[in-house]
Amino acid sequence: MPFHISKDEILETVRMVQSENLDIRTITMGINIQDCRHRNGNATGKSIYKKIVKYAGNLVKTGDEIEKEYGIPIINKRISVTPIANVADGLNRDEIIIIGKYMDDAAREVGVNFIGGFSALVHKGFTHGDEELIAAIPHVLSNTERVCSSVNVATTKSGINMDAVYLMGNIIKQTAEFTADRDGIGCAKLVVFCNAVEDNPFMAGAFHGIGEPESTINIGVSGPGVVLNAIRKHPEMDLGELANVIKKTAFKVTRTGELVGRVASQRLGVPFGIVDLSLAPTPAIGDSVADILQSMGLERVGAHGSTAALAMLNDAVKKGGAMASSYVGGLSGAFIPVSEDAGMIEAVVAGALNIDKLEAMTCVCSVGLDMIAIPGDTSADIISGIIADEAAIGMINRKTTAVRLIPAPGKNIGDWVEFGGLLGRAPVMKVNQHSPTGFINRRGRIPAPIHSLNN
Amino acid sequence: MEEGKKLIITVLGYDRVGIIATISAILAESQVNILDISQTILQGFFTMVMVVDMSNSKADIGQLRDLLVEAGRTLGLEITLQHEDIFKFMHRI
């Protein structure tokens, strides 16, 4: 052969794409919009719109061309922008709502399905801009289709802003109520972070961080199906050997992302940022992280042993992926959303998986309590309590954690919420009803942990 | 990563008369040069991997894929067409 790849290797690659759902989950273009600031919401929004259309006008077309040429599906093309709270500081809530509308219009114009960056970083406290932006979140998420929002309430270096945790419990409730006619879908586009990263390509939590260049291309790969099949082939292996198989598979999956990233960056004339080494499931059968854990030998995900299995999976994916990419970044860890993973949903229905076990699992993987529907009458304080716990896990373990909960209006345990598409469907899960109100109402700031003092 | 125009075609399905003839004819018509063919038949199951060069072809890769997939549908074959870089990147460091 004129180049030395064996037939088996070629067929392996073809099988990964054809029957194991190997794909590029997202090409996300980060765009700096700090220069779009004007005196009012309308002028600022217009300027942001123009810049997005100018920079990302060819994003979808280029992605489609690469998909055709390389025969690798590229599922989503997306955009992240500088946190709007920074750009719009000095404007009031109503003007920021107008900016959200322009973001939505820009996303529609260039043909991307989500745009991230309706965000604020408030881990140590609020600026006026942060306060106005957070107040605008429920309005923007209910009146736009493609805008995604995130709020960073804690970091390992600065501790947990409990005022923000308190506030976000209410904002999530309000967002659910504003989109009550659609099962609270607004909340599926709202992430509360600890240790948010600046180069995350995945929605809903993507934003273009302050330390990022003018524009950049970040890639999110996917491949739970590929890892699943690799594990299924080796029922006899001990876990050390299995970790090696996962590493090799993750290497191959990540290489695809690296290639697509380099080609996209070259064709768009935008620097290549990072490949995010996350295992991102979809509602499609066989594209499930839960199935991987079960193929390792658990009857159902949620069984005792799930956390250990996930820890090993997550670590092996990173080790294999790190070697495959020149720049690794983003969230880089296995995602365990409920509504977006058919195996997780089955485990919840079977009574094997509950929110407490999910919380434990977030200690060892990316990225948090994700896409979990809870009863619509859950109080804001309980939601704040859940956020505080998750932020504490992130803060102490120096990792990113997040909460994306949907308190589905009018729904109770056992009911279903239906979002469709990549967001999927989810059974409403039980939440501990004992009140954290006294704790949450103390507010203030939980100080940074001792191991943040590492200078 | 090269901007070259070498592609890998794979063909999978049950063996029958005329598979290679049909595919070669499509490639010839589109001015696509075959650089290498490797083919096996195992218990009636046909597997072929072709390396082709389309740098002199006027067709674009999407059109060529459509032609091949369509021919594959008639013959009951699964045909894929991908840029060679995918394989190089995935299997070689």
CATH number at residue A362: 3.20.70.20
CB distance A255 to A324 below 8 Å: yes
Helix axes A7-19, B84-91, angle to 10 degrees: 100
Whether A7 maps to a domain, the answer reads: no
Instruction: Considering only the beta carbons, identify the residue of A18, A69, A255 that sits closest to B80.
Output: A18
Other beta carbons less than 10 A from residue A233's beta carbon:
11
CB contact under 8 A, B51 and A2: yes
Examine residue B41 and state whether it is found in any structural domain, yes or no.
yes
Q: Is B12 domain-assigned?
A: yes
Q: Do A185 and A258 have their domain in common?
A: no
Which chain B residues have any C-beta within 8 angstroms of a chain A C-beta? 1, 6, 8, 10, 35-36, 38, 40, 47, 49, 51, 61-62, 65, 78, 80-93
- Cα-based angle A364, A367, A369 (whole degrees, multiple of 5): 100
The answer, for A64 touching chain B at a CB cutoff of 8 Å, is no
From A9, A14, A69, residue closest to B91, measured CB to CB: A9
| Cα A352–Cα A357–Cα A359 angle in degrees, nearest 5 | 145
**Both tokens assigned to A127:** 């600026």
DSSP A233: T
Q: Which residues contact A145 (CB under 8 A, 6 or more apart)?
A: A104, A108
Q: Considering the domain boundaries, does residue A334 fall inside one? A: yes
Number of domains in chain A: 2
A281 touches A337 (CB < 8 A): yes
Q: What amino acid occupies position A274?
A: I
Supply A400's token pair: 């990113």
Which residues form the domain of B51?
6-91
A46 Cα to chain B: minimum distance (Å): 37
> What is the tally of structural domains in chain B?
1
Written as six digits, the tokens of B65 are: 């894929």
CB A265 within 8 A of CB A29: no
* Together in a domain, A180 and A239: no
The answer to whether B51 contacts A70, with C-beta atoms less than 8 Å apart, is no
Residue A29: name the closest of A218, A192, A158 by CA. Answer: A218
Q: Do A247 and A324 fall within a single domain?
A: yes
| Co-location of A253 and A382 in the same domain | yes
Query: Coil, strand, or helix at residue B38?
Result: strand
The answer to whether residue B1 sits within a structural domain is no
> In A, which residues are within 8 Å of B6 by CB distance?
2-3
Measured in angstroms, the CA of A306 and the nearest CA of chain B are apart by: 30
Report the alpha-carbon distance of residue A333 to residue A305 in Å, rounded. 18
Q: Are residues A445 and A382 located together in one domain of the fold?
A: yes
* Shortest CA gap A309–chain B (Å): 26
CA–CA gap between residue A17 and residue A267 (Å, rounded): 23
Mean pLDDT of A115-139: 98
pLDDT at A437 over 50: yes
Residues A255 and A393 both lie in one domain = yes
Is pLDDT at A98 greater than 80 in this prediction?
Answer: yes
Q: Which residues of B touch A70 (CB under 8 A)?
A: 82-83, 85-86
Question: pLDDT value at position A368?
Answer: 92
Can you tell me whether residue A29 is helix, strand or coil? strand
Q: How many CA atoms lie within 13 A of A202 on its CB side?
A: 30
A153 located within any domain: yes
Q: Is A23 a residue whose pLDDT tops 80?
A: yes
Nearest residue, CB atoms, A70 vs list B40, B78, B83: B83
Residues A361 and A432 in one domain: yes
Q: Evaluate whether A194 touches A401 at the Cβ level (below 8 Å).
A: yes
Same domain, yes or no, for A187 and A238? Answer: no
Say yes or no: A7 contacts chain B, CB-CB below 8 A: yes
pLDDT at site A5: 81
pLDDT value of position B3: 52
Walking along chain B (93 residues) 10 residues at a time, the average pLDDT comes out as 76 92 94 93 90 90 92 92 91 84
Residues A283 and A152 in one domain: no
| Same domain? A291 vs A158 | no
Count other C-beta atoms under 10 Å from residue B17's C-beta.
8
Report the gap between the CA of B9 and the closest CA in chain A (Å): 9
User: In the structure, what pLDDT confidence band is assigned to residue A333 with cuts at 50, 70 and 90?
Assistant: confident
Same domain, A185 and A250: no
**Mean pLDDT of the region A99-103:** 98
Please enumerate in sequence order all residues whose Cβ is within 8 A of that of A89, keeping only pairs 6 or more positions apart, or say none. A127, A128, A129, A130
Angle at A422 between CA A204 and CA A245, to 5 degrees: 90
Average pLDDT over residues A432-436: 96
Q: Can you tell me the distance from the alpha carbon of A308 to that of A291, in angstroms, rounded to the nearest whole number? A: 15
pLDDT at position B59: 86
Burial class (CB in 10 A: 0-12, 13-18, 19+), B93: exposed
Nearest to B86 among A259, A262, A323 (CB): A259
Please, are residues A199 and A273 in contact by the beta-carbon 8 Å criterion?
A: yes
In a domain, A214, yes or no: no
| CATH number reported for the structural domain that contains residue B21 in this entry | 3.30.70.260
CA B17 – CA A210 distance, rounded (Å): 62
B35 contacts in chain A (CB < 8 Å): 2
Mean pLDDT of the A278-304 span: 92
- Strands A24-31 and A215-221, bridge-based pairing: antiparallel
Confirm whether B28 is domain-assigned.
Answer: yes
Predicted confidence (pLDDT) per residue in A372-429, tens digit: 999 999 999 999 999 999 999 999 999 999 999 999 999 999 999 998 887 889 999 9
Q: How far is Cα A98 from Cα A1, in angstroms, rounded to an integer?
A: 59
On whether the CB atoms of residues A120 and A153 are closer than 8 A, the answer is no
Q: What is the largest CA-CA distance in chain A?
A: 71
Residue of A103, A121, A120, A122 whose CA lies nearest to A112:
A103
Contacts of A419 (CB under 8 A, 6+ apart): A182, A183, A185, A188, A339, A425
- Residue A21 banded pLDDT, cuts 50, 70, 90: confident
| Residues of B in Cβ contact (< 8 Å) with A10 | 8, 10, 49, 87
Q: Give residue B4's pLDDT.
A: 63
Phi, psi of A78 (to 5 degrees): -140, 170
pLDDT at A208: 97
How many contacts does A have with B, using Cβ atoms within 8 A? 74
User: Are B1 and A9 a contacting pair at CB < 8 A?
Assistant: no
Our measurement of the distance from residue A29's CA atom to the centroid of its chain's CA atoms, rounded to an integer in Å, reads: 15
The verdict on A61 and A181 lying in the same domain is yes
Residue with tokens 């739970």: A224
Q: Considering only CA atoms, which of A20, A454, A427, A12 is closest in space to residue A227?
A: A20
Instruction: Give chain B positions within 8 Å (CB) of A17.
Output: 80, 82
Closest in B1, B80, B93 to A71, CB measured: B80
Contact predicate A72/A16, CB 8 Å: no
CB-based contacts of A28: which residues, under 8 Å, 6+ apart? A77, A78, A79, A80, A116, A201, A202, A206, A217, A218, A219, A220
**Are A3 and B38 in contact (CB < 8 Å)?**
no
- Which amino acid is residue B46, in one-letter code? F
Range of the domain at A292: 219-452
Residue B68 domain-assigned (yes or no):
yes
Position A16 in a domain: no
Q: Is residue A162 part of a domain?
A: yes
Q: Is the pLDDT of residue A53 over 90?
A: yes
Q: Measured between CB atoms, which of A1, A3, A256 is closest to B86?
A: A256
User: Measuring CA to CA, which residue among A450, A455, A448 is closest to residue A195?
Assistant: A448
Per-residue model confidence (pLDDT) at position A19: 82
- Residue A128 scores a pLDDT above 50: yes
**Hey, what are A172's tokens?**
């999530």
Is residue A2 over pLDDT 60? no
At which of A149, A178, A194 does a domain end?
Answer: A194
Within A105-146, strands assigned E span: 115-121
User: Under a CB-based contact definition with an 8 Å cutoff, are residues A173 and A383 in contact?
Assistant: yes
- A70/B contact by beta carbon, under 8 A: yes
